[in-house]
Amino acid sequence: MARTGFAALHPGQAMPKAGLPLLPMPEFQRAIAAGVGRGLRVSALFGHCPAPGAPVELFAVLNDSARAILRGARSVLAADDFPSLTRECPQVHLFEREIAEQYGVTPRGHPWLKPVRFHASYRDLAPGSPAGADADAPAQALLPALEGQAAPGAGTHGAGPLIGVTDFYRVEGEEVHEVAVGPVHAGVIEPGHFRFQCHGEEVLHLEISLGYQHRGVERMLIGGPDKRGIPAIETLAGDTTIGHATAYCQALEALGEGRVPGRAEVLRGVALELERLANHTGDLGALAGDVGFLPTSSYCGRLRGDFLNLSALLCGSRFGRGLVRPGGVAFDVDDARRDQLLTRLAATYRDVQSAVNLLWESASVQARFEGTGRVQPEVALSLGLVGPAARACGIDYDVRSQFPSGIFRFAQVPISTWTTGDVFARAYVRWLEIQRSVLFIQEQMKALPEGPVRTAVGAARPDHVVVTLVEGWRGEICHVAVTDDSGRLARYKVVDPSFHNWMGLALALRNQQISDFPLCNKSFNLSYCGHDL
Amino acid sequence: MLLNILHTVLHVTVALTLPPLLLGVIGKVKALFAGRVGPRLLQPYYDLFKLARKGSVISQTTTWVFHLGPVMGLVTPLLALLFVPLVDSHAPVSFNGDLILMVYLLGLGRFCTASAALDTGSSFEGMGAARELTFACLAEPALFLGLLVLVKLTGSMELATMLGSSLAGHWPTAGASLVLVLLSWFIVLLLENSRIPFDDPNTHLELTMIHEVMVLDHSGPAFGMILYGASIKLFLFAALLVRLVMPVSTGSLALDWAVLVGGVLIVAVAIGVVESTVARLRMTHVPLLIVAACLLSGFGLVLLLR
């Protein structure tokens, strides 16, 4: 259905920017709304300002997973405001807030227009200049912003607003009370602010306010590709090093017409699955820990480390840093190392099986997991949830299956779904994926193709656009790279799965017990820095 | 007379020194289940010593009520313990009806801890206080119904007699009632001492805590007093269970004390095993288990009255 006026896009294939239809704003928005109405999902919707003060260009990438194709288009904002699409199409709500904040434009009629990351607008910054005044501005300069900074996105040029200072949604009433948690938490976790509107122990509404981890990664990448690119991407969300690095490298390879050798494709796929194994195992252990179930909690903590050590076996870094590089991977494996990896994987997997099966066999754990934090499938669809959180609601979407790239084109990983949408489902989908990932690694490592592991990648082609999709362990990672007329990156957009899913957590908490929040939170286990960029 | 003084001295000494060891034993058992070495048995003593030497940070919004909490949290279980016969039929203080004083000394401690929590004005601590008091109200009948069984059996309202050596004679005839009380009181012990499945003493998640969240604002020596008081309360409940099961008097003072100390440590091991194998209850299900404890004690009483 190309009637939408959007062009077909293939992930991992660069196309000239001119090939992306430039639609007038009303048509652009109508097409997005129509696409979402037909069941498409918004993978990315972002602004781009080619020169200081220039009109803002909008890019949209719609995901037609049923047809395994992406659809893209762009538009130019004639004025500093545009009618908001959020009421019609809730999944663009955070994208519109992001555009409003980054480019100082106003989506008119947006029902929830608040800062996303609390930084100053990029609008007047020269392309490639550092991450924005917010990072360098002294605290004093920010202080006056305290008063009346609630009007969000309203062209906050200059010093950015104070993080976390905004209007929070409030429920008023005799017996209603508000609980504020964070940004500093009791555990060693990332900072984020949570406001609960409670009636007794029942949560009526949860509002999540992030931005504390904003480092300006997207701005840092402008002017690249350069040496800073890979380290910035690898630390964008520390637990998704391989996922983001793969998406980034695929983008550079597409732009520079590089070819990745088969052996490197396999190693990338194996590293991606090892990352999934480590995080899923850690999550199951943490879920057990949150309900005070000691055995699984303590064993999974160790086993996560064992999986991380397998990543270290591949590249020397437990988090897979330094492995994925444009054109392939930086480290080869010899036969001895491969055999060691397979032996250790089998041993670790055996332990994971016994530790995790305790969870499903223990009635006291099941009583906590089942029915807690339920997300209805229609809510998941309308919010555009991704990853295990979406698959736990029965949504059949996995980038490895619908948009396979690299080795996943040849070795399909079945989609693991469950239907109940509760904490149990999110935990169980993780367990199903652990099993599939182990099988995948075993098959692939046994049939490792011969050949080099890295080839040279040419310079990026000028005025091109590429979208890459990778199924990170949290879900769909979407990177969009746009080059300028000299082949430098003019805009690099990163959409971490957490960006789609935070709202899902907020809605999962509705009418739940506030004491179940940590459990729900852990079942999503979203990234703060991946969201804050 | 001399024997009485010796009893009292031993009673007070054990009450003051033994309780933190129970926490050490629980920790060790949990560590074994988790495949770890765990902290050493005496770690809770080191922790208390460490806290005693630390300074305190006190919120400016608090009043004297905040300071009263930890003091009462330590003093009330100690006083309550004076009425419980640890060996033989001897308790340092005892009079007709002291069981009510014992239970409400614990209630007074809880009242002061909850008031101190509310005094901080923190939403977390208010939430914790509400939870603690709700559940404690529900647990009180279970404790009292169990005590009623003992009153009915022994015909005394003095804890020293009710849990004294005369109780041993009732096990053959009223064993079923006593077993029911034992089960009920073990549940009450887990609840009153904020153990799994009611509360997780190790969690850092303030939204899920019951007891721990009430004491978040206390630090240094005050926090040490709270931990110490909590361990004494745990010892008190463990001693109640031991006396219920083994109200024996061997005639040898040393053997009597060995039975008590051994018994209390076995209770600690049992708590450790429960904590290692069971997950926490959902908060809404906590009252169901407490009501079950009340029913167990109640049935114990019904069996006697039939």
What does the pLDDT look like over A379-429, one tens digit per residue? 999 999 999 999 999 999 999 999 998 899 898 899 999 999 999 999 999
Strand order from edge to edge, sheet including A202-209: A176-181, A193-199, A202-209
DSSP A236: T
How sure is the predictor about A159, in pLDDT bands with cuts at 50, 70 and 90?
low
Per DSSP, the residues of A291-302 read: TT-HHHHHHHHH
**Which chain B residues touch A if contact means CB-CB below 8 Å?**
30, 33-36, 123-124, 126-127, 131, 196-197, 200, 202-208, 275-285
DSSP A511: T
Q: How far apart are CA A55 and CA A45, in angstroms?
A: 16
Q: Domain residues of chain A, as ranges?
A: 1-116, 217-532
- Per-residue pLDDT at B221 exceeds 90: yes
- Per-residue pLDDT at A477 exceeds 90: yes
Contact A515 B275 (CB under 8 A): no
State the smallest CA–CA distance between residue B198 and chain A in angstroms: 10
State the smallest CA–CA distance between residue A189 and chain B in angstroms: 11
For residue B34, list chain A residues with Cβ-Cβ distance below 8 A: 294-295, 297-299
Cβ–Cβ under 8 Å, residues B66 and B116: yes
CA-based nearest residue in chain A for residue B124: A179
Largest alpha-carbon pair distance within chain A? 71
Q: How far apart are CA A344 and CA A282, in angstroms?
A: 17
pLDDT tens-digit series, residues A424-450? 999 999 999 999 999 999 999 988 898
Beta bridge partners of A203: A198
Which two structure tokens, joined as six digits, stand for A17?
């920017």
How sure is the predictor about A153, in pLDDT bands with cuts at 50, 70 and 90?
very low
Contact A362 B279 (CB under 8 A): yes
- Sort B37 into a burial class: Cβ within 10 Å, 0-12 / 13-18 / 19+: exposed
For residue B277, list chain A residues with Cβ-Cβ distance below 8 A: 294-295
For residue B203, list chain A residues with Cβ-Cβ distance below 8 A: 290, 292
Please report the sign of the dihedral spanned by the C-alpha atoms of residue A327, residue A331, residue A335, residue A340: negative
Largest alpha-carbon pair distance within chain B? 59
Specify the CATH number of the domain A217-532: 1.10.645.10
CA-based nearest residue in chain A for residue B202: A292
- Per-residue pLDDT at A533 exceeds 90: no
For residue B194, list chain A residues with Cβ-Cβ distance below 8 A: none
Token pair 């193709």 in the structure block, residue: A449
- Range list of H helices, A403-487: 423-446
pLDDT tens-digit series, residues A117-128? 888 888 777 666
Q: How far apart are CA A299 and CA A23, in angstroms?
A: 55
Q: Find the Cα–Cα–Cα–Cα dihedral B167, B168, B172, B177, rounded to 10°.
A: 40
> For A322, left (φ over 0), alpha (ψ -120 to 50), or beta?
left
For residue B274, list chain A residues with Cβ-Cβ distance below 8 A: none
Q: Count the Cβ atoms, other than its own, within 10 Å of residue A259.
A: 12
Contact B124 A179 (CB under 8 A): yes
Interior/surface letters A489-521, b for 16+ CB within 10 angstroms, e for the rest: bbbbbbbbbbbbbbbbbbbbbeebbbbbbbbbb
For residue B284, list chain A residues with Cβ-Cβ distance below 8 A: 201, 513
Which two structure tokens, joined as six digits, stand for A160?
């950015």
Higher pLDDT, A132 or A215: A215
Chain B contact for A288, CB < 8 A?
yes
Q: How far apart are CA A475 and CA A469, in angstroms?
A: 10
State the smallest CA–CA distance between residue B231 and chain A in angstroms: 20
Average pLDDT (A83-99) is 90
CA angle A38, A40, A43 (to 5 degrees): 160
For residue A514, list chain B residues with Cβ-Cβ distance below 8 A: 127, 207
How sure is the predictor about B121, in pLDDT bands with cuts at 50, 70 and 90?
confident
Average pLDDT (A360-365) is 90
Contact B206 A299 (CB under 8 A): no
Contact A298 B200 (CB under 8 A): no
Among residues of chain A, what percentage have pLDDT more than 70?
A: 93
**Residues with Cβ within 8 Å of residue B43, at least 6 apart in sequence:** B24, B27
DSSP B95: -
CA-based nearest residue in chain B for residue A365: B279
How sure is the predictor about A155, in pLDDT bands with cuts at 50, 70 and 90?
very low
Cβ–Cβ under 8 Å, residues B228 and B74: yes
Contact B279 A291 (CB under 8 A): yes
**In one letter, which amino acid is A317?**
S
pLDDT tens-digit series, residues B82-116? 999 998 888 899 999 999 999 999 999 999 999 99
pLDDT tens-digit series, residues B44-57? 999 999 999 999 99
Contact B282 A517 (CB under 8 A): no
- Per-residue pLDDT at A181 exceeds 90: no
Q: Residue A365 is nearest to which of B30, B204, B279, comparing CB atoms? A: B279
Which two structure tokens, joined as six digits, stand for B101?
């004083």
For residue A299, list chain B residues with Cβ-Cβ distance below 8 A: 34-35
CA-based nearest residue in chain B for residue A294: B276
Pick the CATH number of A1-116 from 3.40.1190.10, 3.30.360.10, 3.40.190.10, 3.30.460.80: 3.30.460.80
pTM as predicted: 0.88
- Per-residue pLDDT at A34 exceeds 60: yes
ipTM for this model: 0.84
pLDDT of residue A123: 78
Q: How far apart are CA A217 and CA B233, in angstroms?
A: 53
pLDDT of residue A149: 41
Q: How far apart are CA A239 and CA A237, in angstroms?
A: 6
Contact A201 B123 (CB under 8 A): no
pLDDT of residue A3: 54
Q: Which of A101-115, B16-30, B42-56 has the lowest mean pLDDT?
A: A101-115
**In one letter, which amino acid is A249?**
C
Q: Domain residues of chain B, as ranges?
A: 2-305
pLDDT of residue B214: 87
Q: Count the Cβ atoms, other than its own, within 10 Å of residue B55.
A: 8
Chain B contact for A295, CB < 8 A?
yes
Cβ–Cβ under 8 Å, residues A518 and A286: no
Token pair 């809880």 in the structure block, residue: B110
For residue A288, list chain B residues with Cβ-Cβ distance below 8 A: 279
Interior/surface letters B108-126, b for 16+ CB within 10 angstroms, e for the rest: bbbbbbbbbbbbbebbbbb
Which residue, among A150, A245, A42, A368, has the nearest Cα to B283 in the 3D structure?
Answer: A368
A308-315 contacts, C-beta under 8 A, 24 or more apart: A308/A278, A309/A344, A310/A274, A310/A341, A310/A344, A310/A345, A310/A348, A311/A242, A311/A271, A311/A274, A311/A275, A311/A278, A313/A337, A313/A340, A313/A341, A313/A344, A314/A267, A314/A270, A314/A271, A314/A274, A314/A341, A315/A271
Which two structure tokens, joined as six digits, stand for B145?
């119904």
State the smallest CA–CA distance between residue A356 and chain B in angstroms: 14
Chain B contact for A18, CB < 8 A?
no
